[in-house]
Amino acid sequence: MKLTSKLLTAAALLTASASAMAHPGHTEGGFTSGLLHPMLGLDHLLAMAAIGFWSVRQNKLMKNATPAFVIGGMIGGAALAWGGLSVPGVETGITFSVLVAGILIATLAKLPTAVGGTLVGAFMLFHGFAHGAEMPEGATLAAYLAGFSIATLAITLVGRGLGGLMLKADSRFSRGVGGVLAVAGAYLAAA
């Protein structure tokens, strides 16, 4: 199977798994619950894939560091939740991340690493806080953290793979993907 087919199949499976948008009610063990959580929320799935997609057009440092910014923000946000701290506007931050990532893709925006990394880390802080706050009772912290970290990286890398395929295509395709993501973010924000 060609790389293109594999990436499109993976994207389709991830999208299909996002049919349940509500996050509460995970009853699986810590690792499984953590692994599924990022895939069961359309907002999380779109944001992580979009950041991966966008990162392909960035400078080499930003492109290579994006997975670290994503995981760092996720773990930082989860740590805030587990520490009992409050982060205002979590759902707004999550949907805003989808909207802004879509705009960045649609405009083919290239950001300096300091700006892009801060933006990605801040977006993922909201996502990580939501993941941490929704850890099922009885789940072990380490197992849940490992699960959602692996899923987050996988979704981001699938997005990056799709973005890489789009580099070979006309930029209008990338702009179209970004436009769709921006509209999805606006819809999620309004819902």
Query: In this predicted structure, what is the pLDDT of residue 145?
Result: 94
Which whole number is the average pLDDT over 101-119? Answer: 96
pLDDT at 115 over 60: yes
Helices then strands, counting H and E runs in the chain, come out as 8, 0
Phi, psi of 134 (to 5 degrees): -100, 15
pLDDT in tens, 3-41: 544 444 444 444 444 333 334 444 456 899 899 988 888
What is the structure's pLDDT at 28?
A: 52
> Residue 2 has what pLDDT?
57
1 band by pLDDT with thresholds 50, 70 and 90:
low
d(CA 62, CA 90): 25
The tokens describing 30, both together, are 């810590």
Tokens 């990532």 -> residue: 101
Over residues 92-104, mean pLDDT: 95
How many percent of the chain have pLDDT more than 70? 85
pLDDT digits (tens, 9 = 90+) for 47-96: 999 999 999 999 999 999 999 999 999 999 999 999 999 999 999 999 99
Give the mean model confidence (pLDDT) for residues 94-119.
Answer: 96
Type of residue found at 186: A
On the CB side of 175, how many CA atoms lie within 13 Å of its CA? 5
Asked if residue 190 has pLDDT above 60, the reply is yes
pTM (two decimals): 0.82
Name the nearest CA neighbour of 71 among 133, 144, 121: 121
Burial (0-12, 13-18, 19+ Cβ within 10 Å), 125 = buried
Domain residue spans of the chain: 29-189
Query: Where in 3-149 does DSSP place strands (E)?
Result: none
What average pLDDT score do residues 173-186 get? 93
Share the mean pLDDT of the chain. Answer: 86
